[in-house]
Amino acid sequence: MSKELFGKNAVITGSSRGIGRAIAEGLAKQGAAVVINFGTDKTAAGETVAAITSAGGKAISIQADVSKVSGQQRNH
């Protein structure tokens, strides 16, 4: 496992499957701690986290719909 990204954090949306999962696994292999974002498939997200942690990486999963803004920030 490379340590090129050691100490860095990455949030990857849609990373419980497919291309997102491959990106998350690649970043973890380079030493980044990754957040697996998923919309509905908690099982797939858990499998991705397990694959990363069993290979010595750091990962957690968080369910969030990033396609919608839940609040607005206003400048005062």
Q: Domain locations in the chain? A: 9-63
Residue 72 DSSP SS3: coil
Residue 73 has pLDDT above 80, yes or no: no
Give the list of residues 6+ apart from residue 55 with CB closer than 8 angstroms, or none. 1, 25, 28, 29
Terminal alpha carbon distance of the chain: 47
Each residue's pLDDT tens digit, 9-58: 999 999 999 999 999 999 999 999 999 999 999 999 999 999 999 999 99
Write down the pTM of the prediction. 0.84
pLDDT category at 1 given cuts 50, 70, 90 is low
Give the tokens for residue 12: 């990857």
Residue 71 has pLDDT above 90, yes or no: no
Asked whether the beta carbons of 49 and 36 are under 8 A apart, the reply is yes
Residue 59 has pLDDT above 90, yes or no: yes
